């Protein structure tokens, strides 16, 4: 591990001032991903600003029936919260499907959103990786790419985003509150937090240097049922090959609301509103679900070792929708 300075922020203003003084510093809370990357020499921040003591660990109902989640709420706390379990079971299911109990006790809401890919080549300093070292190439293209993305990729990077929680939050229309280094507050939709790789895969998100996530806000939940379905290589402590987060409402035999997000298949939690629109106003059926899967995977591109993900995504989506609507013809 490279030498670095350590600063424990006493309050939010101190943290932002420290970030303003050192734009190349990094915030740290649970550290479940950042510390691993530092040990491998992949991340080399000259200064860590510890925000673990800030007052960002509360959860509160919003006036419109939503939920505001402090950035330092741990994954374990979030999954177990009564309002989450009652109104957003999809989110609780997704969190409990990820990592281990020990990690969920340390990992924070804000940190979970910003965790970096688990691409084998990104974690191997001896391999070329445009996300780690721009311009060196992507060893996953033409290499061992079983876990890599099939949607939203580029010729420069095919790495997939690892978060389960973020997939659920994308389906739930989460918004992210941040503070800029000058103290100004900004609110952005979760999908606006992430960047597709394009020609700059080393830039994962749209946060400015020193911008601090302070909370995630969920709107009031849609009516209907929710489900998170994850397919992985083993039953615990494994990242998704494919995951589906879905919420669906059926009235008088007709689908009236639908939201779906997908994990393990793209560089960010993926959502396809065109596919959602195909479901609205329709009677649930296997044929309908197949058309929806066609729309989701229309632009999917495998790289040889991960070609199976296209079929797996289709089948997982259909199974999840069938689970939400019961037996359908």
Sign of dihedral through CA atoms 177, 178, 179, 180?
Answer: negative
What is d(CA 204, CA 282) in angstroms, rounded to the nearest whole number? 37
Residue linked to tokens 């729309």: 295
Which residues fall within 8 angstroms of residue 235, CB to CB, at 6 or more apart?
Answer: none
Strand (E) or helix (H) holding 225: strand 225-231
Token representation of residue 322:
């069938």
What is d(CA 43, CA 217) in angstroms, rounded to the nearest whole number? 29
Whole-angstrom CA distances from 315 to 161, 250, 294, 312, 326 are 20, 21, 11, 5, 16
pLDDT at 51: 98
61-118 pLDDT per residue, tens:
999 999 999 999 999 999 999 999 999 999 999 999 998 999 999 999 999 999 999 9
- Residue 132 DSSP code: T
Q: At 1, is the pLDDT very low, low, confident or very high (cuts 50, 70, 90)?
A: low
Q: What is the pTM of this model?
A: 0.96
Which residues fall within 8 angstroms of residue 169, CB to CB, at 6 or more apart?
Answer: 91, 113, 190, 216, 218, 269
β-strand pairing of 59-61 with 175-179:
unpaired
Residue burial 269-293, b: 16+ Cβ < 10 Å; e: rest: bbbbeebbebbeebebeeebbeebb
Token representation of residue 130:
């445009």
What is the three-class DSSP state of 9? coil
What is d(CA 104, CA 250) in angstroms, rounded to the nearest whole number? 34
Separate counts of helices (H) and strands (E) for the chain: 11, 12
CB atoms within 10 A of CB 206: 14
CB atoms within 10 A of CB 214: 21
Task: Indicate if the pLDDT at residue 307 is higher than 70.
Answer: yes
125-169 pLDDT per residue, tens:
999 999 999 999 999 999 999 999 999 999 999 999 999 999 999
Strands (E), 4-54: 5-8, 26-28, 47-50
Token representation of residue 269:
């939690």
């Amino acid at each position: 591990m490279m030498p670095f300075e350590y600063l424990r922020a006493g309050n939010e203003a101190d943290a932002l001032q420290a970030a303003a003084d050192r734009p190349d510093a990094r915030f740290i809370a649970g550290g479940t991903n950042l510390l691993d990357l530092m040990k491998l020499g992949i991340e080399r921040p000259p200064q860590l600003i510890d925000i673990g003591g800030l007052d960002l660990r509360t959860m509160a109902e919003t006036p419109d029936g939503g939920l505001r989640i402090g950035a330092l709420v741990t994954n374990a706390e979030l999954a177990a919260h009564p309002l989450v379990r009652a109104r957003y079971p999809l989110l609780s299911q997704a969190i409990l499907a990820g990592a281990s109990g020990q990690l969920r006790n340390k990992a924070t809401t804000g940190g979970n959103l910003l965790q970096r890919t688990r691409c084998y080549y990104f974690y191997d300093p001896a391999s070329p990786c445009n996300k780690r070292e721009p311009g060196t190439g992507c060893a996953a293209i033409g290499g061992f790419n079983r876990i890599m993305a099939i949607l939203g990729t580029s010729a420069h990077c095919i790495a997939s985003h690892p978060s389960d929680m973020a997939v659920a939050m994308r389906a739930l229309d989460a918004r992210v509150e941040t503070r800029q280094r000058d103290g100004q507050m900004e609110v952005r939709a979760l999908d606006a937090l992430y960047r597709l790789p394009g020609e700059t895969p080393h830039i994962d998100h749209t946060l400015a240097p020193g911008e601090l996530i302070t909370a995630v806000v969920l709107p009031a939940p849609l009516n209907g049922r929710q489900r998170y379905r994850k397919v992985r290589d083993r039953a615990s402590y494994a990242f998704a090959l494919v995951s589906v987060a879905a919420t669906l409402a059926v009235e008088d035999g007709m689908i009236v609301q639908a939201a779906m997000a997908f994990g393990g298949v793209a560089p960010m939690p993926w959502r396809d509103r065109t596919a959602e629109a195909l479901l609205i106003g329709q009677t649930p059926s296997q044929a309908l679900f197949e058309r929806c899967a066609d729309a989701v995977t229309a632009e999917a591109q495998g790289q040889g070792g991960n070609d199976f993900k296209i079929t797996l995504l289709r089948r997982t989506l259909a199974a999840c929708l069938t689970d939400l609507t019961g037996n359908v013809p």
